[in-house]
C-alpha cells in the first residue's frame, strides 16, 4: 500500500473517531464543569430523574422501574453517553413534581398493590442493601448522616430501598419499605436577578403504614398519617410499612427548599468530601517520600558505579593482557534478539498504547474536563483515547520488530491490533453474559457492544496499521555494538540472581508506589464513591514511571555484571511483576473491605481485577523495558570495544 493511501486511511479513521465521540456523547462531548449553570425562576418546574439501583453487596445495578415503584404516564430514557451505558446507568424520568421555591407536604404519588413476585423482589433488594439513586439538575441525591465522633456531616449517595427490622416483642425479622421521602433542595439565590441555582439535593427516607379516610381518590385522597392541614407530618418510622404480598403500599413525598451560601461553582465540594481524608493524605505523602528517597539513592548508586566502570574499562584498553570482566564481557551478545521476540514487540506496542491513553486521559482529568459531574465522561475518554493511541502501538511494535530483523510487518501489526483487545473483549463478553443472566441493567446492550466492536475494527485496527507502516518505513534501530554469530554460554548464577526471584523482587517497589492510591481507586469503583483527586493521581503516575525505570535498570545492571545477557524479557517482567501484587492486593481488599456474598458478583470482581492487573503488567513492563533499552544502549556506546 502506498504512503498516500495509508494517510487517507489515517484521515478516515480520525474522522470516524470524531464522529464516534459526537455520537456517543451528544449532550456532554465537550462538557466543561462550571460553565453551564441552569437558572430557575420561582415556580419553574424541576425535573427529578431516577437512576439505577446499586448495591455494594452484589455489584449488580438494576433499573429503577424493575421494582414496583410509582411510574409516570410515559417513561422517557435520557440520552446516555458510552461511559454511562458501560457503568450501568439507566437515567429515566420520574413521577415526582417539583416547582422551584414551592414547598409541598404529603404529596401522594400512587397506591401500588404488591403481588408475590414483586414482594419477593423487594425483600431481596432490601436484604442486599440496594440504594435508590436520583438526579436533580445533574446533582445526585444524597442522604446526610451526622457523625458524632467528628462533629461533622457525611453524605451517602442514594437512599436505601428499605430496612430490616423487628416488631416489639417479636424476634422475626421483617422487611420494611421506605415509602415516604422528605426531599430538601438547597439553592443559591442571586440577589440582583432574583434567579436561583440548585446547589444541593438531599433526602430523608421513612417507612410509614399510611392510613386514609373515606374512599380512595388517587392523589386527592386525604391521609390520616400525613396531613399538613392537621399539622401531622412524617418525621419517623415508628409505624413502618411492611413488605407483604397482596397488600397495598402508598408512596408519598415532601419537598422543602433551603437557601444556601454555597455558590454553584462549589456545589460538588460537599459530595467530594465523603471520606476521612486526613489520615490518607499523610499516608500517601509518606509513601511517596519513601519512594522518592529510594529512587534518589538508586540513581546516585547507579551514576557512581557506572562512572567508575566506564572509566576503568576505557583505561584497561591501553593496558595489555587484561581480561574483560563484568558487563563489558557480554557486549557481543547483549543485543542478540530474544526468544519469542515477536510477542515482546506486541507487548511493548500494547504498553505504549496504554501509556498514551493514561497520559492523555489524566491531563484532561487534571484540567477538569472529566470531573464526577460529567457522568461516564472518564470511561468514554479512556475508550476513545485507547482507540486513537493504536497509531503509537503499531509504530512502537514495528520499530522494535525491524530491529530484531523481522520482515513480516503485517503479521506483527495484526497481533498488536488483536492480542490484548481480543483477550479483554473475550473476558468482558463472558462477564457481560453473567450480568445478563442476572437481568441486571449493568449488562451492556447489543447496540453498545456493536459500537465497541466498530471502534475496535473501524478505527483502532486501521490506526495500528498506519502506525506500523510508518514505523517500518523508518531505518532500523542500530545496536551500538556488533553481535557475535555464536552465543556465549551464561555462567551459573547465584541464587539471588535466579530470574523468578529477581523478577518477583523487582515488582515490589513499583507496587509500593501506588498501593495506597489503589485503595482510593478500588473504593471509588466497588463502594460507589467519587474519585476526584486526579492531580495527586498524576503525581503518583510520574512516581510509578520513575520507580519502574530505576528498579529495572538496577536489576538489569546486576544481571549484566554477572555475565547474563538475556535481559530483554527479564527487563519487561521485572517491573511488570508488580501486577501480581496488585491482583493479590485486590484479593485482600475483597475479603477485608467488601461484603460480596453472591458467586456471580465475586466472579465479576475477580474478572475485572484480572483484566486491570493484565493492563497494569503491560504498562509497567513497557516502562521498565524502555528504560532498560535506553540504559543498555547508553552504557555499551560509552565504552571502547574492539
Q: What is the pLDDT of residues 398-457, one digit of tens each?
A: 999 999 888 888 899 999 999 999 999 999 999 999 999 988 988 988 888 999 999 999
Give the residue-averaged pLDDT of 304-328. 63
Q: Residue 288 and residue 281: Cα distance in Å, rounded? A: 11
CB 580 within 8 A of CB 573: no
Q: Residue 347 and residue 352: Cα distance in Å, rounded? A: 9
Tell which wins on pLDDT, 285 or 104: 104
CB 431 within 8 A of CB 423: no
* pLDDT at 431 (0 to 100): 93
Using the 8-state DSSP alphabet, how is residue 490 labeled?
P
Tell which wins on pLDDT, 276 or 224: 224
Give the residue-averaged pLDDT of 270-287. 62
Q: Residue 178 and residue 157: Cα distance in Å, rounded? A: 16
* pLDDT at 267 (0 to 100): 86
Strand 131-136 relative to strand 104-113, pairing: unpaired
- 259-274 confidence digits (pLDDT tens): 998 888 888 887 776 4
The model's pTM is 0.85
Lowest mean pLDDT among 194-198, 252-256, 319-323, 436-440: 319-323
Q: Is the pLDDT of residue 50 over 80?
A: yes
Half-sphere exposure of 501 (CA within 13 A, CB side): 7
Q: Residue 303 and residue 631: Cα distance in Å, rounded? A: 12
CB 54 within 8 A of CB 140: no
Q: Is the pLDDT of residue 29 over 60?
A: no
pLDDT band, very low/low/confident/very high, at 82 (cuts 50, 70, 90): confident
Give the residue-averaged pLDDT of 96-121. 90
* pLDDT at 316 (0 to 100): 63
Share of the chain above pLDDT 90, in %: 41
Q: Is the pLDDT of residue 346 over 80?
A: yes
Q: Is the pLDDT of residue 16 over 70?
A: no
Q: Residue 577 and residue 573: Cα distance in Å, rounded? A: 6
Mean pLDDT of the chain: 84
* pLDDT at 80 (0 to 100): 76
Give the residue-averaged pLDDT of 519-534. 83
The size of the chain, in residues, is: 642
Amino acid at each position: 500500500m502506498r504512503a498516500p493511501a495509508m494517510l487517507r486511511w489515517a484521515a478516515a479513521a480520525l474522522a470516524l473517531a470524531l464522529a464516534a465521540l459526537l455520537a456517543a456523547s451528544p449532550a456532554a462531548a465537550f462538557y466543561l464543569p462550571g460553565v453551564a449553570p441552569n437558572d430557575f425562576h420561582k415556580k419553574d418546574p424541576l425535573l427529578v430523574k431516577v437512576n439505577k439501583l446499586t448495591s455494594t453487596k452484589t455489584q449488580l445495578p438494576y433499573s429503577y422501574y424493575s421494582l414496583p415503584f410509582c411510574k409516570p404516564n410515559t417513561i422517557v430514557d435520557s440520552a446516555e453517553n458510552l461511559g454511562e451505558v458501560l457503568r450501568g446507568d439507566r437515567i429515566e424520568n420520574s413521577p415526582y413534581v417539583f416547582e422551584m421555591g414551592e414547598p409541598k407536604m404529603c404529596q401522594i404519588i400512587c397506591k401500588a398493590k404488591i403481588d408475590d413476585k414483586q414482594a419477593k423482589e423487594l425483600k431481596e433488594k432490601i436484604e442486599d442493601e440496594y440504594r435508590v439513586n436520583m438526579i436533580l439538575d445533574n446533582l445526585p441525591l444524597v442522604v446526610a448522616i451526622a457523625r458524632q465522633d467528628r462533629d461533622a456531616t457525611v453524605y451517602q449517595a442514594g437512599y436505601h430501598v428499605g430496612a430490616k427490622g423487628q416488631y416489639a416483642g417479636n424476634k422475626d425479622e421483617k422487611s420494611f419499605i421506605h415509602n415516604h421521602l422528605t426531599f430538601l433542595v438547597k439553592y443559591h439565590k442571586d440577589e440582583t436577578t432574583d434567579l436561583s441555582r440548585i446547589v444541593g439535593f438531599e433526602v430523608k427516607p421513612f417507612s410509614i403504614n399510611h392510613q386514609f379516610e373515606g374512599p380512595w381518590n388517587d392523589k386527592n385522597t386525604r391521609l390520616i398519617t400525613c396531613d399538613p392541614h392537621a399539622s401531622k407530618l412524617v418525621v419517623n418510622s415508628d409505624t413502618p410499612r411492611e413488605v407483604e404480598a397482596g397488600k397495598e403500599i402508598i408512596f408519598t413525598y415532601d419537598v422543602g427548599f433551603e437557601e444556601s451560601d454555597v455558590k454553584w461553582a462549589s456545589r460538588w465540594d460537599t459530595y467530594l468530601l465523603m471520606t476521612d481524608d486526613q489520615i490518607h493524605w499523610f499516608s500517601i505523602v509518606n509513601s511517596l517520600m519513601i519512594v522518592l528517597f529510594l529512587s534518589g539513592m538508586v540513581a546516585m548508586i547507579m551514576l557512581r558505579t557506572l562512572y567508575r566502570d566506564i572509566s576503568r574499562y576505557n583505561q584497561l584498553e591501553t593496558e595489555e593482557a587484561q581480561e574483560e570482566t563484568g558487563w563489558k564481557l557480554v557486549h557481543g551478545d547483549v543485543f542478540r534478539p530474544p526468544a519469542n521476540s515477536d510477542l515482546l514487540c506486541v507487548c511493548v506496542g500494547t504498553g505504549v498504547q496504554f501509556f498514551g491513553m493514561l497520559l492523555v486521559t489524566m491531563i484532561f482529568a487534571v484540567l477538569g474536563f472529566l470531573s464526577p459531574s460529567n457522568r461516564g465522561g472518564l470511561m468514554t475518554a479512556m475508550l476513545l483515547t485507547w482507540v486513537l493511541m493504536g497509531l503509537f502501538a503499531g509504530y512502537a511494535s514495528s520499530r522494535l520488530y525491524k530491529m530484531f530483523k523481522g520482515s513480516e510487518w503485517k503479521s506483527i501489526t495484526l497481533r498488536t491490533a488483536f492480542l490484548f483487545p481480543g483477550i479483554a473483549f473475550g473476558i468482558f463478553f463472558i462477564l457481560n453474559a453473567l450480568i445478563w443472566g442476572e437481568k441486571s441493567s449493568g449488562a451492556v446492550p447489543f447496540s453498545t457492544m456493536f459500537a465497541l466492536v466498530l471502534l475496535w475494527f473501524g478505527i483502532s485496527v486501521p490506526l495500528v496499521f498506519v502506525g506500523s507502516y510508518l514505523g517500518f518505513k523508518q531505518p532500523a534501530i542500530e545496536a551500538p555494538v556488533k553481535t557475535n554469530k555464536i552465543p556465549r554460554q551464561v555462567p551459573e548464577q547465584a541464587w539471588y540472581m535466579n530470574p523468578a526471584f529477581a523478577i518477583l523482587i523487582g515488582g515490589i517497589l513499583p507496587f509500593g508506589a501506588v498501593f495506597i492510591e489503589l485503595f482510593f481507586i478500588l473504593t471509588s469503583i466497588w463502594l460507589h464513591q467519587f474519585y476526584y483527586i486526579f492531580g495527586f493521581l498524576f503525581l503518583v503516575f510520574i512516581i510509578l514511571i520513575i520507580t519502574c525505570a530505576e528498579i529495572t535498570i538496577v536489576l538489569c545492571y546486576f544481571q549484566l555484571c554477572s555475565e547474563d545477557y538475556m535481559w530483554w524479557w527479564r527487563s519487561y517482567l521485572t517491573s511488570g511483576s508488580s501486577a501480581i501484587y496488585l491482583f493479590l492486593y485486590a484479593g485482600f481488599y475483597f475479603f477485608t473491605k467488601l461484603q460480596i456474598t453472591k458467586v456471580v458478583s465475586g466472579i465479576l470482581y475477580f474478572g475485572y481485577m484480572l483484566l486491570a492487573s493484565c493492563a497494569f503488567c503491560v504498562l509497567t513492563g513497557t516502562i521498565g523495558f524502555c528504560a532498560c533499552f535506553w540504559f543498555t544502549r547508553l552504557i555499551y556506546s560509552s565504552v571502547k570495544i574492539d
